[in-house]
Structure 1
Amino acid sequence: MHASSHLTEASPRSIARNVGVIIVGVALITLCAKIKVPSWPVPMTLHTLAVMALAVAAGPRLATATFFAYLFVGAAGLPVFSGTPERGIGLVYMAGPTGGYLLGYLAASWVTGSLALGRGTIGRALAMLAGLGVTYALGLPWLAFFVPADQVIPLGFAPFILGDLINIAMVAIGALFIPSRLIGQIGR
């Protein structure tokens, strides 16, 4: 068999597998968005758990594609976000107080996935912390458009950081069961 024909034969399977990972990933992110503790202006969810798990398991390209698909589905008006439909849908919701966090998770998908590739447990945990830092770096300034500046940390960081760190710890422990050589390989 010629090498190029092998690549042609593998491509449809690879594409189908990647599409399947994206669909399951969007469903996982949506489920984690809907498991929430109501709070204002940003609800407490398991978004961090889903984003970090996908980034560590799928790698930067597939994790970023998955979160982008999640944002696309949400922008189209499907109630995938944590506050939908109660707090609005589509672009209206995305332009609200949580919009910066959503963009932060998109960036964190790439950062975490890239930094976690081939790393051990500590490297993966540090990659997730870097991704979380990116999420807050985009989410907090955005939130400042909706709340007084002196309330950004009390409303947008303090209530969430412990839960986010616990989510990262859970993903790090779960990733112990995935060999380092397979990290970032789902969908390949």
Structure 2
Amino acid sequence: MSTINDTHPTLVNSIWSTDQTLVRNVLLAIAGSIALWISAKIQVPFYPVPMTMQTFVVLVIGMSFGWRLGGATVLLYLAEGAFGLPVFAGTPEKGVGLAYMAGPTGGYLVGFVVATALVGWLAEKGWDRGILTTLAAMVLGTATIFAFGVFWLGSIIGWEKPVLEFGFYPFLPGAAFKIALAAAVLPITWKLVNKSSKTPDADANL
């Protein structure tokens, strides 16, 4: 059984092990930032509001890359946005750069970094191996994003307004869907990796 002090290899380290770690990490961070960019721009029809897959990508990057590389990837994405690239949802129509990041949705962006580090740390403790632990990690990561986003939104527009109706309730069904999807995808991916390497993870818990 895993303990809190155990450290497990990340999914990326298990799939792509190399001595050229710096080169690999730079390439992965760039690829991850591009995936975040794309996920922010694609809207999927859903009830009650359309959703993007960005929070899914954020948390999967965290759990696949680990907290250091995952956090660095999201920070790279935010740096691209800060320098004026239209990488965020609603850009350039709703502004770009630091002005956009300081707006009503800025808290969710901050939450991306914290949530990525959190789920990445949990993944390094083996939480990405089984359905239940992945589900729990994704719930915690999603809750972190919402906590930062709602607090920031309330600070911007004022708490006398229905902040939860603007920044939380409409997005819950989509968040639940993405959490369930991640809880299925990551353990399945681990099973495929372990099968291909013929070294099943004894700590996997379903």
TM range (shorter): 0.7 to 0.9
Which letter maps to 2:69? L
Alignment: residue pair count: 169
**Distance in 2 between residues matched to 1:173 and 1:123, nearest whole Å:** 11
Contact 1:34–1:82 (CA under 8 A) maintained in structure 2: yes
In the alignment, which of 181, 186, 192 is matched to residue 170 of structure 1?
181
TM-score, normalized by length of structure 2?
0.76
Which residue matches 2:105? 98
**2:30 aligned with 1:20:** no
TM-score, normalized by length of structure 1?
0.83
**2:117 aligned with 1:107:** no
Contact 2:115–2:142 (CA under 8 A) maintained in structure 1: yes
**Deviation (angstroms), 1:102:** 0.3
**Distance in 2 between residues matched to 1:44 and 1:143, nearest whole Å:** 18
Which residue matches 1:186? none
Kindly provide the CA deviation profile for residues 57-110 of structure 1, in whole angstroms up to 9, marking residues without a partner as x.
111111101000000010000000001100000000000011000000110000
Percent identity of the aligned residues?
Answer: 41
In the alignment, which of 29, 47, 68 is matched to residue 61 of structure 1?
68
**Deviation (angstroms), 1:18:** 0.4
**Distance in 2 between residues matched to 1:44 and 1:89, nearest whole Å:** 21
Which letter maps to 1:143? L
Contact 1:48–1:168 (CA under 8 A) maintained in structure 2: no
Which residue matches 2:10? none
Give unmatched runs, 5+ long, in structure 1.
Answer: 1-9, 184-188
**Deviation (angstroms), 1:47:** 1.4
Give unmatched runs, 5+ long, in structure 2.
Answer: 1-17, 195-206
Secondary structure of 2:169's counterpart equals coil
**Deviation (angstroms), 1:148:** 4.3
In the alignment, which of 144, 152, 155 is matched to residue 163 of structure 2?
152
**Deviation (angstroms), 1:16:** 0.9
Contact 1:52–1:112 (CA under 8 A) maintained in structure 2: yes
Contact 1:61–1:110 (CA under 8 A) maintained in structure 2: yes
Which letter maps to 2:180? A
**2:94 aligned with 1:84:** no
Which residue matches 1:124? 134
**Distance in 2 between residues matched to 1:74 and 1:121, nearest whole Å:** 34
